[in-house]
Amino acid sequence: MLEVRCLEAGYGSAKILNGVDLDVGQGEVVALLGRNGMGKTTTIRCLMGLLPARRGAISFLGQSLIGRPSHWIAGRGLGLVPEGRQIFPTLSVRENLLAFASRGRRGAGPWDIRAVFELFPRLAERAASPGRHLSGGEQQMLAIARALVTNPRLLLLDEATEGLAPLIRNEIWRCLATLKAAGLAILLIDKPHKALETLAARHLIMEKGRIAWQGDPAALAAQPALRHRLLGV
């Protein structure tokens, strides 16, 4: 579905990405790992057209995303759950969802407000509450639900469970497992976690703006020295 080749990007004079190559297949869950500052969020921003690529290629379902605006990219089927959630604080849960509902851009998809309320019953209970009154975990659920109602073909999650309480983190992992079972492709950034070992088919580890290693969870677990070198703090 997604192919990225030799991607370079940065901010001002600072070059952050130094030739990123990655791909995500149909229905595949891929985890993008790495220490802070290695280029993970910058990669996601380039995929969504929020940051222009300086060099390289990004294609999704055979179409180039280079130079395309974010709304065009979202309309082709990429859904973003951004770092920091970025929900509308003065809108209610239902209004946040209505603002992003796909309204049949790619036909009637499976994800509407009723469906995301079934996935996240807590959001249904808080449907009339303003975003600013939600807990951090509830805001993350809303950010995921908001991306789902666009009916994406590939879901991008930046820091999927960062800063969440263990109970809420487990709820997010449950949700992602449900989405995987439904065949949704997912590219997610998160810290190494046991839940990723069953969720993600492949782990990609970034270092200094490149993919320094990739393989399945078992292969990473079998190389503790490499894991410590690329992911240790």
Same domain, 5 and 73: yes
Same domain, 159 and 227: yes
> Which helix (H) or strand (E) element contains residue 219?
helix 217-221
Domain that holds residue 188: 1-77+153-165+182-233
pLDDT at 107: 44
pLDDT at 103: 57
Same domain, 159 and 211: yes
- Asked if residue 76 lies in contact with residue 61, where contact means CB atoms within 8 angstroms, the answer is yes
Domain assignment of residue 171, yes or no = no
Same domain, 8 and 69: yes
pLDDT at 104: 47
Q: Name the stretches of the chain with pLDDT < 70.
A: 102-109, 233
Note the pLDDT tens digit of each residue in 75-130. 999 999 998 888 999 999 999 999 988 654 444 468 999 999 999 999 999 999 99
pTM over cut 0.85: yes
CATH of the domain at 72: 3.40.50.300
Q: How many CB atoms lie within 10 A of CB 110?
A: 9
**What total of structural domains would you count in the chain?**
2
- Nearest CA to 203 out of 33, 3, 22, 12 is that of 33
Query: Taking phi first (over 0 means left), then psi (-120 to 50 degrees means alpha), and beta for anything else, what does residue 77 get?
Result: left
